[in-house]
Chains A and B, each alone.
Chain A
């Protein structure tokens, strides 16, 4: 059917050697066009978030295939600029769009079978679908809208339940979910999330204090006993808590991978580079205030896990596309001369482009740092030391007043 559609469409050209390439050239023009997103990302990383926003606000000039990416990128840029309300607006739209993508579009899938994945609407990797909720949680917590942060925590939990293997190492988001529960005294839910996190983290030391606290409140003496042995020495305590969302580095880009087989078969697939973002040692100044053990995620690792979880689907679709294209090329060869078939094969070969679209403004690492403090006025600095680098970074935190029992949130990116 696809072949006949293509043939029917080619009536615009009378010369047999040209009619297929003309049509496919048009399709090629439609595909693989994410220039504005790349430019915006370049501006953002050049320290020009406002210019990046201006580009992103112009939107996609070729339909709505990249609509999700525009919303995601705007969500991060607005977050970075401290406009949390607008970041929420963009990311809520993105979350809504992701829900709509649950329905498979027949026309879109059929179109992508004779061209490439760029023809389809970008639906986001599993990890990106989770991070929409991570940023929404952060935004709501920063605005003091704790009920809404909890709503996002529940939606993030749904994503985690859908793809447990792919998102297992999203430690930051999982700790953030637990924090949203804890913040509204939903002790049982907070305990459950921390308990699962303890199983998946390289060491339960990071969340042992929280497990002991909530297990004790829930009357689970055996759990208290078990995790007490993991408690770090000199665990800081305070009347209030400052929570820092620390973002550093840049998420690795998706790269194009290719496997070429004779005569003109090309398997194209995206992959993330092995790059990891270093985890800095974080100290609070004045040094009399100590932080709890931080929970940190390398976003590149989670992105790679997510793409790997989709591997079977990617291979299946790629095989189907290769078979369809081979059938088209052979059909052209049977009905026309060798030259027409050769042109067709070259065009289809060139058309096979891996979908390397991704959420580019994300950081490479996200860390949740909690600092217990006494109630009162504070002026603090965050000192960052990177492994193997002598130089250290000092970040001044805005002065703040914190009340007894209060939890205060700040977002930092460097």
Chain B
């Protein structure tokens, strides 16, 4: 009796442990992998694609032929999660640059540009190879945005799973710096529902 009990206990432990081995797999950048209701890397791709498409297919960029210069002033994170919105603007800028229809001011490197300019004029660099001062290009447009989220939990009641509804919206604007007018605005949304069990091992 005891031996049988020991055998089945051993078998059960073996089966439980065999399910705890580490596994890894490659995930494609286009693949949608979603674990919960929160923000995922695939959301960023969907958001960027939608915004680039909208920007290029609507005025003022639709009709622009002079490769207008844009400065990105970042996306404000107004969600309840720590989301790196600079990753969205980086991808957005890259995708727009790749089209060849717009140019961007490198705002994040301004201090380094100043430092390098000072160095070139510090006496160590040959005069004929120095960059010329006051030749930087001013931006025509400013790109800004706000990422918001609304989270709704299922009301408390007797159940074994808890459902959560998550709504994300990214609003973006392109402002003409000379006139202060908003020349383009659009938004994109991600709505997701997830359920989690209340009870586990």
| Residue contact B2 to A104, C-beta cutoff 8 Å | no
A22 adjacent to chain B (CB < 8 Å)? no
What is the size, in residues, of chain A's interface with B at 8 Å between Cβ atoms?
A: 18
Known interface pairs A103-B198, A103-B199, A106-B199; A11-B2 also in contact (CB < 8 Å): yes
Quick one: CB contact mask for A202-218 with B, threshold 8 Å, 1 for yes? 00000000000000000
Quick one: CB contact mask for B68-81 with A, threshold 8 Å, 1 for yes? 00000000111111
A150 adjacent to chain B (CB < 8 Å)? yes
Instruction: Determine the distance from Cα of A92 to Cα of B81 in the docked complex, in whole angstroms.
Output: 11
A102 adjacent to chain B (CB < 8 Å)? yes
A107 adjacent to chain B (CB < 8 Å)? yes
Quick one: CB contact mask for A133-161 with B, threshold 8 Å, 1 for yes? 00000000000000110110011001000
Known interface pairs A102-B196, A151-B82; A107-B201 also in contact (CB < 8 Å): yes
Near B by CB (< 8 A), chain A positions 1-48 give 8, 11
Residues of A within 8 A of B85 (CB): 147
A190 CB to nearest B CB, Å: 13
Near B by CB (< 8 A), chain A positions 97-120 give 102-107
| Residue contact B200 to A105, C-beta cutoff 8 Å | yes
A184 adjacent to chain B (CB < 8 Å)? yes
| Residue contact B196 to A186, C-beta cutoff 8 Å | no
What is the size, in residues, of chain B's interface with A at 8 Å between Cβ atoms?
A: 18
| Residue contact B197 to A103, C-beta cutoff 8 Å | yes
Quick one: CB contact mask for B81-113 with A, threshold 8 Å, 1 for yes? 110010000000000000000000000000000
Closest-by-CB residue of B relative to A161 is B153
| Residue contact B80 to A158, C-beta cutoff 8 Å | yes
Residues of B within 8 A of A150 (CB): 77-78
| Residue contact B198 to A104, C-beta cutoff 8 Å | yes
Residues of A within 8 A of B134 (CB): none
B44 adjacent to chain A (CB < 8 Å)? no
Instruction: Determine the distance from Cα of A106 to Cα of B198 in the docked complex, in whole angstroms.
Output: 10
Instruction: Determine the distance from Cα of A8 to Cα of B1 in the docked complex, in whole angstroms.
Output: 12
Instruction: Determine the distance from Cα of A104 to Cα of B201 in the docked complex, in whole angstroms.
Output: 8
Residues of A within 8 A of B200 (CB): 103-106
Instruction: Determine the distance from Cα of A8 to Cα of B5 in the docked complex, in whole angstroms.
Output: 9
Instruction: Determine the distance from Cα of A147 to Cα of B81 in the docked complex, in whole angstroms.
Output: 10
B195 CB to nearest A CB, Å: 12
A-B contact pairs, 10 of them (CB 8 A): A11-B2, A102-B162, A106-B201, A107-B201, A147-B77, A148-B82, A150-B77, A154-B80, A158-B151, A184-B78
Mark B residues whose CB is within 8 Å of A.
Answer: 2, 5, 76-82, 85, 151, 162, 196-201
